[in-house]
Amino acid sequence: MSMTQTLTLRRPDDWHLHLRDGAMLEAVLPETTRHFARAIVMPNLVPPVVTMADATSYKARILAAMPEGARFTPLMTLYLTENTDPDDLTRAYASGLISAVKLYPAGATTNSASGVADFDKVRAVLERMAEIGCPLCVHGEVTDREIDIFDREAVFIDRVLDPIRKSTPELKVVMEHITTKNGADYVKANAERLGATITVQHLMLDRNDMLVGGMRPHYYCLPILKRREHREALLAAATSGDARFFLGTDSAPHPSHAKEAECCAAGCFTAPVALACLAHSFEEAGALDKLEGFTSLHGPAFYGLPANEETITLTKSDTPAHFPKQIPNGDDPITVFDPGTPVFWAVSNSSSL
């Protein structure tokens, strides 16, 4: 007996995405435009997207790389540095070019060397952002050597994020890719102007999946996977229906050779499988009815944008879905995230290419 089940959602958006540049941009962009209507595009290129001029030309490169017939809107961001010009930022935001500004603590993650080391130096820019209503997206980890990597998010909340929010209470903040119960609890305790994105890998995996029985480089991302109780807290937050939690895949492609290396690059390439994996996890949590809020409604509400009118349909089969192991990228294929459990859901129809 064959049984299928379908689930139709408003077309989702991805509120945290790495599209890279050049050949890799061309390789990965269709994997997002196939399923998602919009994405907040991260600015951590080398060199980073710092000015309005940088974001203008990066957006043009993304639009030039769009697959035939795709309907997708890249929502651009600026990379905050200690030298960011508040007037340039204001022009970029007022013109509609950018939707947010991204804070990377210097050295916290992939391509974050130009990020902020002294948070006092960006105080004036943050004040300006609060004035004009431009959201700040935050990679929330401290970088001090003495702080254990598994504690860096919790310490960031206490030492950096909470003081910033207290001194600039009007600032809208997105805690990107939260990975801890501490992160979820902080959002719940602070109703005003605060949201959080959650990735697929942090909903599906804990650090045992990455480290027991051998080290799995394709599960290595930042912030690093935490212990199981944190994954459970994230899943509870994502499936709760609380509109402050929404999907940011943090799909972060690296060539497979850079992942399968002595010093492995941080990032999971989840875009092709994100929605199938989420349907799996939400169903397991008994919360399929909460999936559309998480993927398609809460993010637009936070950013003050309309939800998408088009839909996407997922189908559950009685045999596991087959996903590509890699996608081509010149001589440097990119390994697709594999959650390590059979997933029976797959996107069966998307109203855009």
- In angstroms, what is the minimal distance from the CB of 342 to ligand NCD? 25
| Interface region with Zn ion, contact rule CB under 5 A, candidates 54-62, 101-109, 210-218, 315-323 | 101-109
Size of the residue set binding ligand NCD (CB under 6 A): 11
Residue nearest to Zn ion (CB): 139
Rounded Cα distance between 58 and 353, Å, is: 22
User: Per CB under 5 A, which of residues 227..266 are in contact with Zn ion?
Assistant: 250
Q: Is 206 a catalytic residue?
A: no
The residue among 110 and 350 lying less far from ligand NCD, judged by its C-beta, is 110
Give which of ligand NCD, Zn ion, none residue 267 binds (C-beta under 5 to 8 Å, depending on kind): ligand NCD
User: Per CB under 6 A, which of residues 278..317 are in contact with ligand NCD?
Assistant: none
Rule CB under 5 A: say whether 139 interacts with Zn ion: yes
Rule CB under 5 A: say whether 20 interacts with Zn ion: no
Rule CB under 5 A: say whether 34 interacts with Zn ion: no
Among 50, 62, 129, 222, binds ligand NCD (CB under 6 A): 222
Give the x-and-dash track for 132-151 against ligand NCD (CB under 6 A). -------x------------
- In angstroms, what is the minimal distance from the CB of 222 to ligand NCD? 4
- In angstroms, what is the minimal distance from the CB of 248 to Zn ion? 8
Among 109, 180, 270, 308, binds ligand NCD (CB under 6 A): 109
Rule CB under 5 A: say whether 109 interacts with Zn ion: yes
State the residues that interact with ligand NCD by CB under 6 A. 18, 44, 109-110, 139, 221-222, 250, 252, 266-267
State the residues that interact with Zn ion by CB under 5 A. 109, 139, 250
- Enumerate the active-site residues: 250
